[in-house]
Amino acid sequence: MSAAQVQAGADADADVATYLDAALAVLRAAGCGGMVYCQRRSEWSARVRQGAIERIESALTGGMTVTALNTGNRGASATSTEVSLASARQVAAQAVELSAWSDVDEWRGLPPAQECGVAGGDLQLSDPGYADTDHQRLVDAAIAAERSAFAVDPRISLSHRSGASASRSQVWVTSTAGVAMQRSGTSFGFHATVVAKSAAGERQSGSWHTSARMRGALRSAQEVGAEAGRRAVRGFDWRRIPSGAGRVLLHRDVASQLLGTLAQAVSGGLVFRGATFLAGKLGAMIASPQVTITDAPLLPGHLGSRPCDGEGVRARTVTAIDQGRLASYLVDGYAARRLQHPYTGHEGGVSNWQLQPGQASFEDLLHELGTGLLVSGFQGFGVDLASGSFSKGITGFWVEQGRISHPVQEVTVAGSLPQLLMGIRTLGNDPLEQTRVSAPSLIIDGFTVGGT
């Protein structure tokens, strides 16, 4: 094990290191290779409603997972919530025993040592003041946010699911190939969800939130509350619109959801299964040339940042779609070997998955849309990555000559992801913030609108 592969963080726990070694010893004694993953987490959360605390929860949790690789790369794993020496040995023994039942799989294995390690120096993932967190201040912020939401409009009088949270987690990864990694991080957040009731008795809800690795980076309670309130009343006096097809403006909230779908579509596990419409498309133009999408794990202080992935593979910035061309899949070790694709460090999914913003302001986008549909919310699960079929309910606004005319509800949009990607026309300069998946608002062609 070289020095570069060890990050002896200030909070390294000597006991856990002993457990990891014990599990590796069980694997080696059985003639197996393998990997041990251990995590510990402390979390606290509160829910508030109508100015009072409704619930406070706290917990200390943990877990160990041992993956055993038997002769012929037959793999199996075992997990326990108990983090202890006895548990480490028992879980390792269970994984070894189970692995005898798996069939030979030449692609299974461990990431080689040269792919492993920690990158990025100080990624600012942990708030040094976590241990001294004054939970009452977080509760106060959630209550203040709720109050700010109520102040937006007299029709808002009910609070629902407002609250705050704080957590700290530590992860250890070691393997029989000589990898030994540790990472830790904190996160803080609070949110407000309020319900507005119209004179006619119709209810609409709105919510907003803030979350960050450092408590000091949270948005103000006033800002969160005001946005939640605005969202609760913006949909009143909605109308339906006729069915049709055409250009649509996706607000950054929903553009980011669409972007999240793409993260799955380029994941190696779906590619080798032929379960994504992007299988076999490496190097091809799959989106309009404005589209560049990167996964950036090394941005200091960002929610998705990490020095290494869940297999200990060194984190690196990956451009998955480069000016419309599919440049890379996102692979874990198995998919990397199976697809003969370079390692990207994606065991555990994306880190900070970003569609690079463009130049247009939101006003510019409204103007470019002219008359048409602005989508502000998606509902439902209607995506199939194999076929690329996309179909969801939406909420939004009708735009007339570049100005928002009225809210729209009970409408669907549907399209095919390959066509939609090619149909992205103009990108906004307003990327969604404080999120792991971030896109700007954008104008897109190719949706069919289902209305009256």
Q: Which residues bind another protein (CB under 8 A)?
A: 49, 52-62, 75-82, 91, 94-95, 98-99, 101-105, 158, 160-161, 195, 202-205, 243, 273-277, 279, 379-382, 384, 386-387, 389, 391-393, 409-416, 448-452
- Under a CB-based contact definition with an 8 Å cutoff, are residues 365 and 442 in contact? yes
- Minimum distance of another protein from residue 395's CB (angstroms): 8
DSSP 123-160: ---S-TTGGG--HHHHHHHHHHHHHHHHTT-TTEEEE-
Burial 216-245 (b: 16+ CB within 10 A, else e): ebbbebeebbbbbbebbbbbbebeebeeee
Q: Give the C-alpha separation, 111 to 126, whole Å.
A: 27
Q: How far is the CB of 268 from another protein (least distance, A)?
A: 14
Q: Name the residue nearer to another protein (CB basis): 94 or 426.
A: 94
Residue number, 76 or 331, with CB nearest to another protein:
76
Nearer Cβ to another protein (208/294): 208
Burial of residue 275 (CB within 10 Å: 0-12, 13-18, 19+) is: middle
CB atoms within 10 A of CB 79: 13
CA distance 354 to 48: 33
How near is the Cβ of 123 to another protein at its closest, in Å?
Answer: 26
Type of residue numbered 140 = D
107 vs 362, which CB is nearer to another protein?
107
CB atoms within 10 A of CB 315: 24
CA angle in degrees (0–180, nearest 5) for 164-168-169: 135
Give the residue with the Cβ less far from another protein, 102 or 257: 102
Task: Give the separation between CA 7 and CA 181, rounded to whole angstroms.
Answer: 6
Q: Are strands 52-70 and 74-80 parallel, antiparallel or unpaired?
A: antiparallel
Buried residues in 170-205 as b, exposed as e (16+ CB within 10 A)? bbbbbbbbebbbbbbbbbbbbbbbbbbeeeeeeebb
Nearest approach in angstroms of CB 449 to another protein is 7
Nearest to another protein of 117, 407 (CB atom): 407
Residue 385 beta carbon to another protein: minimum distance, rounded to whole angstroms: 8
Residue number, 87 or 426, with CB nearest to another protein: 87
Q: Pick the closest to residue 415 from 245, 243, 256 (CA basis).
A: 245
**CB neighbours of 65 closer than 8 A, spacing ≥ 6?**
36, 37, 38, 77, 78, 79, 91
Cα end-to-end span (Å), the chain: 65
- CB-nearer residue toward another protein: 271 or 432: 271
In terms of C-beta density within 10 A (0-12 exposed, 13-18 middle, 19 or more buried), how is residue 380 classed?
exposed
Supply the minimum distance, in Å, between the C-beta of residue 226 and another protein: 19
Closer residue to another protein, CB minimum distance, 142 or 449:
449
Q: How far apart are CA 8 and CA 11, in angstroms?
A: 8
Cβ distance to another protein smaller for residue 158 or 214: 158
Which residue, 57 or 433, has its beta carbon nearer to another protein? 57
Q: How far is the CB of 209 from another protein (least distance, A)?
A: 14
Report, in Å, the least distance between residue 202 CB and another protein: 7
| Alpha-carbon dihedral angle through residues 301, 221, 431, 212, given to the nearest 10 degrees | 20
Closest distance of CB 104 from another protein, Å? 8
Task: State the nearest-atom distance from the C-beta of 270 to another protein, in Å.
Answer: 9
Measured in whole angstroms, the distance separating CA 443 from the mean position of its chain's CA atoms is 23
